[in-house]
Amino acid sequence: MSDLRDVLVEIRWQLVRRRRALLGWAVALAAVAGIYVPFYPAMGGGELQSIVDTLPPELISALGYDRIGTPAGYLTSTVFGLLAPALLLVFGIGLGARTIAGEEEEGGLELAASAPVRRDVLLAGRIIAMHTQVFLLAVTTTVVTALLVRVVGMDVTLSGIVAAGLGLNLLVNAFATIALAVGAVTGRRAIAVAVGASIAVSSYIAHALSGVVERGDLLERLSPFSWYLAGDPVAQGVPIVGYVLLGTLTFVAWAAALTRFPRRDLGV
Amino acid sequence: MSTAVIAIDGLVKDYGDVRALDGVDLEVREGEIFGFIGPNGAGKSTTIRILLDLLRPTSGTVRVLGEDPRAGGPRLRARLGYLPGELDLDGTATARQLLEHLAQVRGGRGSDRIAPLAERFLLDLDRPVRTLSKGNKQKVGVVQALMHRPQLALLDEPTSGLDPLLQQEFLTLIREERDAGTSVFLSSHVLSEIEGVADRVALVRDGRIAVVDDVAALRAAAGQRLDVTFASDVPLAALDRVLAGVEELRIDGLRARGVWRGEPGPLIASLHGLPVARLELRDRDLEELVIDAYRADAPEGAGQP
């Protein structure tokens, strides 16, 4: 089981060297929840709803503000559907692109890849370390949100918040793994960022438009953002099909990276 | 053949349309310090990175400690040490944390030598690696390449970034490691930096080995650049006799220049009695050696890619 040992050594190392950055991101995500959740009583459910009602219905739908007057809708529109995924995707796609391709371009991968560790083992250790970091940040977001919801007395179930936090984790891990896989296949950080970010952005737009355009259900079926949010996890709990699809996307990205990375030239 | 730690035969490596290695043949013996000399872009790093399985050959065979690098995998790399030519260390981890991690990857081997080697090279282990100067990063690289007492150390431009004092310390260390059983393969674009330590050297140019020899023989074959100026006119007959053995002779007024091969004694003796105002005999630099060797190797001189 020395491969398992090698994986654990690599995970530990990646977490040690990234811990300071990780702490900074955790503070930022806690701040997102800390800024939005306490505002709900002040904005008041009905008051916010009446402001939103003055907007054109297509715009309301595109912004995801359909249910902003409800506590669950408010959390979805602010924390879980907008700012937390935006921040976490910047983190995850950036980390994914840097993990292999970025370090390869800068020469930092030389020591790791020339060490007595199989390349697929090295890659697995790094992907799992990335998943761990995304998970810790999703947990931070979820826990801070749940605490503040309790403090301000919003009518949202804990299970709904956990379901949304789980979806956030799955969504970000999918895109982060795509970016990492593109980097592991191409060795080019810029391509990894571009592919990861453009799929994420177009998926967000597709989700936003799905309630507005004709045949929006098609967009909803294709967009990972919809897999995460269309089922309204804060109010309705885990949308099983959507979350399985997000997990599948991550799995496919893993497979692509593991297929190509061990076989190609590094640092060319 | 069993004593070759590196055996390369007909190694070709293409990057797309660019041929980086064009049929490299090389054998490095167990227990020697072997210098791999050539200008930047000649293929030194490419060769070393193939030995570590970071790159895969286009064609040709490679054996490292008797094994194919790809087939040997981690088991083979556990017996190697590597200093990358372009060492990039970043992150907030300290040099100690990085080196301890690299020892962990090797099952803890080398951990006990981190402190003594760092002390020897005046390396501060408690600073974050990204704040280290280029020279200090290079020290980290040297320590991690040698700390686990590999059977074969592959060092790409090890002396770059080290000041002259530390270069000397490094060369002393290399000798000690060799005496303790490590074979050493090191590259440089400056022959003078490693000629005091290398048993044999290969000159590489344009992806080919131009010549392999021991350093003294190479120096002798390369000869020295002669530059002599006379105080007054010398009879042509006397000059002809004195400078008969000088190649590429150019006479320019009172000054004569050329290439002298062999011991300088006879030349100096023959100049005795002549009005010499100024005399210089200087080792030719590397680039000249390589060009010479390359000409000899490929007399057609047709443009290689």
B134 touches chain A (CB under 8 A): no
Asked whether residue B228 is assigned to any structural domain, the reply reads yes
Buried b (16+ CB within 10 A) or exposed e, B237-252: eebeebbeebeebeee
State the nearest Cα–Cα gap between B244 and chain A, in angstroms. 51
Domain boundary, last residue among B219, B240, B269: B219
The rounded average pLDDT for each run of 10 residues, N- to C-terminus, in chain B (305 residues) is 85 94 96 92 94 97 97 96 90 91 95 96 93 92 96 95 89 95 92 85 90 81 86 80 84 88 85 89 72 57 40
B93, closest residue in chain A (CA to CA): A17
What is the structure's pLDDT at B302? 40
Lowest mean pLDDT among A76-85, A230-239, A248-257, B263-272: B263-272
Which of B54, B88, B89 lies nearest to residue A114, judging by beta carbons?
Answer: B54
Could you tell me if B199 and B230 lie in one domain?
Answer: no
Element spanning A196, H or E: helix A189-209
Could you tell me if B164 and B30 lie in one domain?
Answer: yes
A118, closest residue in chain B (CA to CA): B74
Which of A16, A114, A267 lies nearest to residue B93, judging by beta carbons?
Answer: A16
B7 vs B2: CA distance, rounded Å: 10
Tell which of B49, B67, B137 to mutate to test the A interface (max A CBs under 10 Å): B49
What is the structure's pLDDT at A89? 98
Backbone phi and psi for residue B129, each to the nearest 5 degrees, phi listed first: -60, -30
What is the structure's pLDDT at B210? 84
B238 lies in which domain range? 224-283
Asked whether residue B60 is assigned to any structural domain, the reply reads yes
Q: How many domains does chain B have?
A: 2
DSSP, res A18:
H
Asked whether residue B75 is assigned to any structural domain, the reply reads yes
Could you tell me if B113 and B23 lie in one domain?
Answer: yes
**Closest among A5, A10, A110, A182 to B53, alpha carbons compared:** A110
Could you tell me if B110 and B38 lie in one domain?
Answer: yes
What is the structure's pLDDT at B14? 96
B109, closest residue in chain A (CA to CA): A116
Could you tell me if B267 and B133 lie in one domain?
Answer: no
Could you tell me if B247 and B143 lie in one domain?
Answer: no
Could you tell me if B23 and B130 lie in one domain?
Answer: yes
Asked whether residue B90 is assigned to any structural domain, the reply reads yes
Contacts of B55 in chain A (CB under 8 A): 265-268
Contacts of B110 in chain A (CB under 8 A): none
**Closest among A54, A58, A55 to A213, alpha carbons compared:** A58
Is A84 a residue whose pLDDT tops 70? yes
B301 vs B285: CA distance, rounded Å: 21
Tell which of A8, A19, A23, A111 to mutate to test the B interface (max B CBs under 10 Å): A111
Close Cβ partners of A64 (under 8 Å, ≥ 6 residues apart): A76, A77, A81, A82, A207, A208, A229
Could you tell me if B62 and B163 lie in one domain?
Answer: yes
A133 vs A15: CA distance, rounded Å: 8
Could you tell me if B189 and B80 lie in one domain?
Answer: yes
Asked whether residue B128 is assigned to any structural domain, the reply reads yes
What is the structure's pLDDT at B216? 79
Which of B49, B102, B104 lies nearest to residue A111, judging by beta carbons?
Answer: B102
Asked whether residue B297 is assigned to any structural domain, the reply reads no
B206 vs B148: CA distance, rounded Å: 34
What is the structure's pLDDT at A182? 98
Contacts of B15 in chain A (CB under 8 A): 268
Task: Using DSSP, state whether A215 is helix, strand or coil.
Answer: coil
Percentages of chain A per state (helix, strand, coil), in multiples of 5: 85, 0, 15
Task: Extract the tokens encoding B302.
Answer: 């047709």
Could you tell me if B26 and B84 lie in one domain?
Answer: yes
What is the structure's pLDDT at B287? 59
Contacts of A19 in chain B (CB under 8 A): 92
Which of B75, B77, B101 lies nearest to residue A114, judging by beta carbons?
Answer: B77
Mean pLDDT for the stretch of residues A216-233: 92
A110 vs A266: CA distance, rounded Å: 8
Which of A111, A265, A267 lies nearest to residue B56, judging by beta carbons?
Answer: A265
User: Which CATH number characterizes residue B248's domain?
Assistant: 3.30.70.980
Total residues belonging to chain A: 268
Asked whether residue B296 is assigned to any structural domain, the reply reads no
B104 touches chain A (CB under 8 A): yes
Lowest mean pLDDT among A42-56, A80-94, B24-38: A42-56
CB atoms within 10 A of CB B95: 25
Encoded amino acid at A75, one letter: L
What is the structure's pLDDT at B43? 94
State the nearest Cα–Cα gap between A23 and chain B, in angstroms. 13
B89, closest residue in chain A (CA to CA): A108
Task: Extract the tokens encoding B64.
Answer: 């490292």
**Closest among A148, A139, A166 to A33, alpha carbons compared:** A148
The answer to whether the Cβ–Cβ distance between A265 and B84 falls below 8 Å is no
Task: Using DSSP, state whether A66 is helix, strand or coil.
Answer: coil
Task: Extract the tokens encoding B128.
Answer: 């974050």
What is the structure's pLDDT at B300? 45
State the nearest Cα–Cα gap between B105 and chain A, in angstroms. 7
CB atoms within 10 A of CB B134: 10
3-class SS letters over chain B:
CCCEEEEEEEEEEEECCEEEEEEEEEEEECCCEEEEECCCCCCHHHHHHHHCCCCCCCEEEEEECCECHHHHHHHHHCCEEEECCCCCCCCCCEHHHHHHHHHHHCCCCCHHHHHHHHHHCCCCCCCEHHHCCHHHHHHHHHHHHHCCCCCEEEEECCCCCCCHHHHHHHHHHHHHHHHCCCEEEEEECCHHHHCCCCCEEEEEECCEEEEEEEHHHHHHHHCEEEEEEECCCCCHHHHHHHCCCCEEEEEECCEEEEEECCCCHHHHHHHCCCCEEEEEEEECCHHHHHHHHHHHHCCCCCCCC
Task: Using DSSP, state whether A186 is helix, strand or coil.
Answer: helix
B87 touches chain A (CB under 8 A): yes
Domain boundary, last residue among B186, B202, B219: B219
Task: Extract the tokens encoding B188.
Answer: 């440089």
Encoded amino acid at B246, one letter: V
- Which residues make beta-bridge pairs with B201? B35, B213
The answer to whether the Cβ–Cβ distance between B105 and A268 falls below 8 Å is no
What is the structure's pLDDT at A2? 85
Interface TM-score (ipTM) > 0.90: no
Backbone phi and psi for residue A33, each to the nearest 5 degrees, phi listed first: -65, -40
Could you tell me if B164 and B212 lie in one domain?
Answer: yes
pLDDT in tens, A130-165: 999 999 999 999 999 999 999 998 999 999 999 999
Encoded amino acid at A102, one letter: G
Lowest mean pLDDT among A23-32, A214-223, A232-241, B237-246: B237-246
Asked whether residue B295 is assigned to any structural domain, the reply reads no
A8 vs B49: CA distance, rounded Å: 26
Considering chain A, what is the average pLDDT of its residues?
93
**8 Å CB contact between B6 and B152:** yes
Task: Extract the tokens encoding A198.
Answer: 């453009």
Strands B200-205 and B247-252: unpaired
Could you tell me if B74 and B207 lie in one domain?
Answer: yes
Provide the edge-to-edge strand list for the sheet that holds B18-29: B18-29, B4-15, B59-64
Domain boundary, last residue among B219, B253, B275: B219
Contacts of B97 in chain A (CB under 8 A): 16-17
What is the structure's pLDDT at B292? 67
